[in-house]
Structure 1
Amino acid sequence: MDVELIRLTKRYGDTLAVDAIDLKISSGAYCCLLGPSGCGKTTTLRMIGGHEAVSSGDVVIGPYSVGDAPPAGRGTAMMFQSYALFPHLNCRDNVAFSLKMRGIAKAERQAKAMAMLSLVQMERLAERLPAQLSGGQQQRVALARALVTGPKVLLLDEPLSALDPFLRGRMRVELKRIQAELGLTFIHVTHSQEEAIALSDLVVVMRGGRIEQAADPRTVFERPATAFVARFIGGHNVISLPEGPIAVRTDRMRLGEDAGQGARRARVVAVEYQGTSVLVGLDADGIERPADGSSALTAVLSDHAFAAHPFALGDTIPVGWDEAAAHRLDA
């Protein structure tokens, strides 16, 4: 189902957590709400699911305004950050529990639970208790439990944050597979740029309770709307020039003999080998360091290119970029 937010606002006393945001998520899309802690992304998710009261504005799911409806009346299901599985119930009964509360007969609810466990590749562990499962297995059971009621929209609150990096990568693939197989609308809160870009059809970057940019992942990465988006998504240098701020991708920077005309002088202040690439940090003439104190510019070179023309800490080298690689940012 389509999900539309209309001037959606949440206040906690004098604190404005979500500031009159407008957003439309198409039916069957995978949407990631992305931003730093305190940006309003989880509050937005909870208002969509009915777990947080709306201060003003509205939530529309399909053809219905649901801003005042209870969670059970919205056609949504929430997968919380803490999986909250019942420790005394096995996997099958954890998944079937909500169906039991709805009065569905035992045979039917257990059959539906097993179908969902099969979908998340956990049917062989149906008899195990949560304490006998790994973190990734518990996450799969929690996902099956959220899906068993047949929601039209699945809400996920940082579902991968408790997993190690290897498992996070595997579960990203599984989430995308399940979402495509079921054709549901997924709305997924994360603070991980990599996660949002890998999973979503629509990335919504939030800051201070507002939406800075909402677009497909390639557009957000290639053409960030603001300096905040460019810095938060990563992989960009934000460069202040008299004509206004621009973003240049770190892998489009040109160093040394390749810097070209109009190159600036820069001092190498960091060299970090990252396997397939090498990150070079630079302090350049006339370019201020970011507020976090990191180097003024960053360049990412292939390991092969760096090995052919290596730089050392303290070297002074030319640095430049092609005009076509520079993307103008909103003020």
Structure 2
Amino acid sequence: MTDAKAVELAAVTKRYDAALAVDAVSLKIRAGSYCCLLGPSGCGKTSTLRMIAGHESVTDGDVLIGGRAVTEDPPARRGTAMMFQNYALFPHLSVAENVAFSLRMKGVSRTARLTRAAELLELVSMSDYAERKPNQLSGGQQQRVALARALMTEPSVLLLDEPLSALDPFLRVRMRSELRRIQRELGITFIHVTHSQEEAMALADLVVVMNEGRIAQAGPPREVYNAPRTPFVARFIGGHNILDDGGRTITLRADALALAPADAAGEANRRATVREIEYRGPDVRVGLETDRGESLSAVLAERAFFERPLEPGAAVAVGWRPDAVHELTPDG
């Protein structure tokens, strides 16, 4: 099995003519971890991934893999493999031949490369489809084949560019579990670009939230969710309310808000009117407008909501525990 390697970015910058795509990003990703680069379109996450892969040149700074500077190395010398968003399978080759293609280019014998391909197809639960062509596969099956092909070179670091974005929601959840299982089984470093907060939270040991070419926050998923550093991170991660509280900016998780009848709570933090009700199965989201003109969301367990259901237009008291308050640092 290939040894996992740490990845480090040292003040890495990428410019496209006058446009600054990545602005002096520094980051350490430990060997054998699952890292998700997360952020909106245009935040620099894909450019960062492509610089690690060697598919984009670095304008300034250094990329280190396993402690070795690889900034000037071509992709083939970095010990990385890239799984692209569109999978890029060869339509005229069978599944097995697609997976074995990189070894074919290296002159490995047909028997040896197909034996290795069979091992990887078993890893991704695609052994029964080895002789099919890509157009005979579903999107999820093509994704598995692309993953097996990327692993064929036994990389120390696997780079994934929005690998689940083309899948339907049900399959996306299933493939998240598969990716995590395979990463743990192989023990190599995965770096995964996504714009989905849910995907990053489900997969990553390290979530790196990017905005305007910089890292807004990096940390374990639970830390980022419970203690967002800035209003941007709180809004992008979702599930948070941002308020001005006596001159300081604070955030409160939506599930930390408690609602009571307007006349039943003498020490409510806010008075509000229910504007919308969104039933989501296990929970219910209640959209609120406070008497100060603030928009809030409260998330209530389904059973708790229907024990005392609310309707749009209802007046409520909104409260929260003091320890639910998290103070933010201004963006910028």
2:239 counterpart of 1:235: yes
Amino acid at match of 1:321: W
Number of positions where the alignment pairs a residue of Structure 1 with one of Structure 2: 324
Following TM superposition, by how much is the alpha carbon of 1:318 offset from its aligned partner in structure 2, in angstroms?
A: 1.1
The 1:24–1:259 alpha-carbon spacing in structure 2 relative to 1, beyond 3 Å, is farther
2:209 counterpart of 1:205: yes
Following TM superposition, by how much is the alpha carbon of 1:243 offset from its aligned partner in structure 2, in angstroms?
A: 3.4
User: Could you tell me the TM-score, scaled by structure 1's length?
Assistant: 0.96
Following TM superposition, by how much is the alpha carbon of 1:286 offset from its aligned partner in structure 2, in angstroms?
A: 2.3
Following TM superposition, by how much is the alpha carbon of 1:193 offset from its aligned partner in structure 2, in angstroms?
A: 0.4
The 1:152–1:299 alpha-carbon spacing in structure 2 relative to 1, beyond 3 Å, is same
**Structure 1 residue matching 2:300: 3-state secondary structure:** strand
Q: What is the aligned partner in structure 2 of residue 130 from structure 1?
A: 134
**Structure 1 residue matching 2:71: 3-state secondary structure:** coil
User: 2:50, 2:111 → 1: CA distance?
Assistant: 33
Following TM superposition, by how much is the alpha carbon of 1:310 offset from its aligned partner in structure 2, in angstroms?
A: 1.3
Q: What is the aligned partner in structure 2 of residue 220 from structure 1?
A: 224
Q: What is the aligned partner in structure 1 of residue 329 from structure 2?
A: 330
Q: Could you tell me the percent identity over the aligned residues?
A: 61
User: 2:269, 2:195 → 1: CA distance?
Assistant: 35
2:260 counterpart of 1:261: no
Following TM superposition, by how much is the alpha carbon of 1:106 offset from its aligned partner in structure 2, in angstroms?
A: 1.1
Following TM superposition, by how much is the alpha carbon of 1:238 offset from its aligned partner in structure 2, in angstroms?
A: 0.9
Q: What is the aligned partner in structure 2 of residue 306 from structure 1?
A: 305
Following TM superposition, by how much is the alpha carbon of 1:285 offset from its aligned partner in structure 2, in angstroms?
A: 2.2
The 1:260–1:16 alpha-carbon spacing in structure 2 relative to 1, beyond 3 Å, is farther
What is the aligned counterpart of 1:68 among 42, 61, 72?
72
**Structure 2 residue matching 1:163: 3-state secondary structure:** coil
Amino acid at match of 2:223: T
What is the aligned counterpart of 1:14 among 18, 22, 28?
18
Following TM superposition, by how much is the alpha carbon of 1:103 offset from its aligned partner in structure 2, in angstroms?
A: 1.1
Q: What is the aligned partner in structure 1 of residue 186 from structure 2?
A: 182
Deviations 1:288-327 (A, max 9, x none): 4xxxxxxx10000111111111111111211121111011
User: Could you tell me the TM-score, scaled by structure 2's length?
Assistant: 0.96
The 1:22–1:260 alpha-carbon spacing in structure 2 relative to 1, beyond 3 Å, is farther
Amino acid at match of 1:54: V
User: 1:228, 1:72 → 2: CA distance?
Assistant: 37
What is the aligned counterpart of 1:77 among 81, 85, 93?
81
Amino acid at match of 2:312: L
User: 1:301, 1:170 → 2: CA distance?
Assistant: 26
**Structure 2 residue matching 1:318: 3-state secondary structure:** strand
More off after superposition, 279-288 vs 111-120: 279-288
What is the aligned counterpart of 2:162 among 158, 165, 187?
158
User: Residues 268 and 317 of structure 2 are in contact (CA less than 8 Å); yes or no, is this contact kept in structure 1?
Assistant: no
User: 1:12, 1:33 → 2: CA distance?
Assistant: 20
**Structure 2 residue matching 1:212: 3-state secondary structure:** strand
Amino acid at match of 2:204: S
User: Residues 239 and 287 of structure 1 are in contact (CA less than 8 Å); yes or no, is this contact kept in structure 2?
Assistant: no
2:272 counterpart of 1:273: no
Structure 1 segments of 4 or more deviating over 3 A?
Answer: 257-260
What is the aligned counterpart of 1:29 among 29, 33, 36?
33
Q: What is the aligned partner in structure 2 of residue 317 from structure 1?
A: 316
Deviations 1:126-180 (A, max 9, x none): 0000010000000000000000110000000000000011111110111001000
More off after superposition, 261-270 vs 111-120: 261-270
More off after superposition, 266-275 vs 28-37: 266-275
Amino acid at match of 1:114: A
Show structure 2 runs of 5+ residues with no match: none
More off after superposition, 83-92 vs 261-270: 261-270
CA RMSD of aligned residues (A): 1.1
Amino acid at match of 1:246: I
Following TM superposition, by how much is the alpha carbon of 1:260 offset from its aligned partner in structure 2, in angstroms?
A: 6.2
Amino acid at match of 1:261: E
